[in-house]
Amino acid sequence: MIRKTFSSSCLGKALMPALFFVLSTLFLLLPELSGAADISRTPGFIQEQKDKLRVMVVIEEKVAGIFGTTAWEDLGQAESTIAEKLLNAGFDVVDPHTVKSNISRDKALLLIEGDPRAAAEAGLRYGAQIVIAGKAISKNAGGKLLGTRMQSLQATIQARMIRTDDAKILAARSEQGQQAHIDEVQGGVLAIKEASAKLADLLISDIQRQWTKEFFSHSHEIQISIVGLVSYRHLDAVKRYLETGIPSVKSVKQRSFAEGSAELSIDYDGDSSGIAANLSNRNFTGYRLEPTSVTPNRINLRVVLEPAK
Give the phi and the psi of residue 29 in degrees, each rounded to 5. -85, -15
Cβ proximity of 262 and 186 under 8 Å: no
Q: Provide the pLDDT for residue 101.
A: 75
Alpha-carbon gap, residue 198 to 87, rounded angstroms: 15
Alpha-carbon gap, residue 301 to 56, rounded angstroms: 27
Q: Provide the pLDDT for residue 217.
A: 60
Residue ranges of the domains in the chain?
47-216, 220-305
Q: Provide the pLDDT for residue 278.
A: 92
**pTM of whole model > 0.75?**
no
Beta bridge partners of 157: 136, 175
Q: Provide the pLDDT for residue 36.
A: 39
Residues of the chain with pLDDT under 50: 1-8, 11, 20-22, 24-48, 51, 67-73
Q: Provide the pLDDT for residue 215.
A: 64
What one-character DSSP code corresponds to residue 84? H
User: What 3-state DSSP class applies to 128?
Assistant: coil
Alpha-carbon gap, residue 85 to 9, rounded angstroms: 60
Helices (runs of H) and strands (runs of E) counted in the chain: 9, 11
Q: Provide the pLDDT for residue 27.
A: 44
Please identify, in words, the CATH class of the domain defined by 47-216: alpha beta
Cβ proximity of 170 and 206 under 8 Å: yes
Q: Provide the pLDDT for residue 159.
A: 94
Q: Provide the pLDDT for residue 25.
A: 46
Alpha-carbon gap, residue 185 to 72, rounded angstroms: 10
Alpha-carbon gap, residue 176 to 136, rounded angstroms: 9
Pairing of strands 130-144, 261-268: unpaired
